[in-house]
């Protein structure tokens, strides 16, 4: 990746933002933003996504560091669990004499 701003028309890289609303909760994806580097990304996230008291902690992740599943391959990717109840242990009878199960 070239230096942000080196080319006049080059936009800043994209970052994905995760905010934790309270202690004990997980960070939740809230959106994305542009920023020239990590320090500015965390500050921009603070300004854009937590200006009305939304959170106590922020993560920013370069969007290009996230690998996503292919939306077009959704059927093949997520179909297999359906109709395969044998994958769930609760469909098996417990053998007699097994305790603490």
Helices (H), the chain: 38-49, 74-78
The yes or no reply on residue 44 touching other proteins (CB under 8 A) is yes
Q: How far is the CB of 51 from other proteins (least distance, A)?
A: 6
Q: Find the binding residues for other proteins in span 19-38 (CB under 8 A).
A: 33-36
Nearest Cα neighbor of 37 from 62, 17, 55 is 62
By C-beta, is 5 or 25 nearer to other proteins?
5
Closest by CA to 48, choosing from 16, 25, 22, 24, is 16
- Footprint of other proteins on 60-89 (CB under 8 A): none
Contact 12, 62 (CB under 8 A): no
Give residues in contact with other proteins (CB under 8 A): 5-6, 11-12, 33-36, 39-40, 43-44, 47-48, 51
């Amino acid at each position: 990746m070239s230096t942000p701003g080196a080319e006049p028309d080059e936009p800043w890289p994209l970052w994905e933002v995760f905010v934790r609303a309270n202690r004990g909760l997980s960070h939740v994806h809230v959106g994305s933003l542009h920023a020239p580097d990590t320090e500015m990304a965390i500050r921009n996230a603070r300004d854009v996504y937590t200006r009305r008291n939304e959170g106590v902690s922020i993560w920013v992740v370069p969007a290009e560091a996230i690998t996503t599943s292919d939306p077009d391959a959704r059927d093949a990717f997520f179909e297999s669990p359906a109709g395969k109840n044998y994958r769930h242990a609760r469909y098996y009878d417990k053998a007699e004499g097994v305790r603490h199960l």
